[in-house]
Copies of this chain bind each other. A is one copy, B any other.
Amino acid sequence: MKREHQISNQVIKRLPRYYRFLGELSAKGIVKISSQHLAELMGITASQIRQDLNCFGGFGQQGYGYNTSALQAEIGKILGLDTIKNVIIIGAGNLGKAILSGMHFNKRGFEAIGIFDSSEKVIGTSVAGLTVQSMDELPGFCKKNNVAVAVLCIPSTTLRETCETIIDLGIKGIWNFSHGDLSDFKDKAVIENVHLGDSLAALGYNLK
């Protein structure tokens, strides 16, 4: 897998879609596909597919096309689905519970190993097989376990403070669902913002 120059996030975010389509084709028993045909299926250009793939190497065969299941496997490797990364959820409200129980982390190269909250009301309750722990237990937990990613499902009032705590505990990845700005932490951790509000705003605008 070559990776000469920095690959844009736009390319990365297209990979899961390729992965999904190739999986479906493969499940249907379709063994080979050309970039042209896959492009039509996905509603994009064949050029884009070939350019995207060539960021990582040549996975096809000239005159033939791509082997669906082999290409899917390669994309899986690029996305790191084969190395399991431990995840904890911070915040056991509706959103935290929804993410923990519905995200299928184990199908995506992750494993959810803990969920934490500061409210006495939810501490000790069970969500998707995990017991909600107190935030006080977080430092000890992080020492015992190699936590790669924290998913932040907390109110934006405590966002920055929680973020600092987490970074101090050595967690390198932050998946942020809170509204609020973490751009000044981006040299200390890899931050991926979901920003549902921006998405909803775009929908509202485009309705006019």
Contact = CB atoms under 8 A, between A and B. Distances in A.
Interface of A: 9, 12-13, 15-17, 20, 42-43, 78-80, 85, 93-95, 97-99, 101-103, 108-110, 148-149, 172-173, 175, 179, 181, 183-184, 190, 192, 194-208
Contact of A183 (B9, B15, B43, B172): B43
Given A20-B179, A43-B184, A94-B102, A200 B204 contact: no
A175 B207 CA distance: 11
B103 A196 contact: yes
Q: Which of A94, A98, A99, A201 has the most CB atoms of chain B within a 10 A radius of its CB? A: A201
A103 B197 CA distance: 8
Given A103-B196, A103-B200, A179-B20, A205 B98 contact: no
Nearest to A87: B200
Give the copy number: 2
12 contacts: A9-B206, A12-B201, A16-B198, A79-B205, A94-B101, A95-B102, A97-B98, A103-B197, A175-B199, A192-B199, A194-B194, A194-B196
A206 B207 CA distance: 34
A173 B9 contact: no
B206 A190 contact: yes
Contacts of A17: 181, 198
B175 A192 contact: no
Contact of A204 (B79, B98, B103, B183): B79
Given A12-B202, A98-B94, A207 B173 contact: yes
Given A16-B197, A198-B16, A93 B103 contact: no
A201 B15 contact: yes
A16 B16 CA distance: 27
B43 A201 contact: no
Contact of A149 (B80, B183, B203): B203
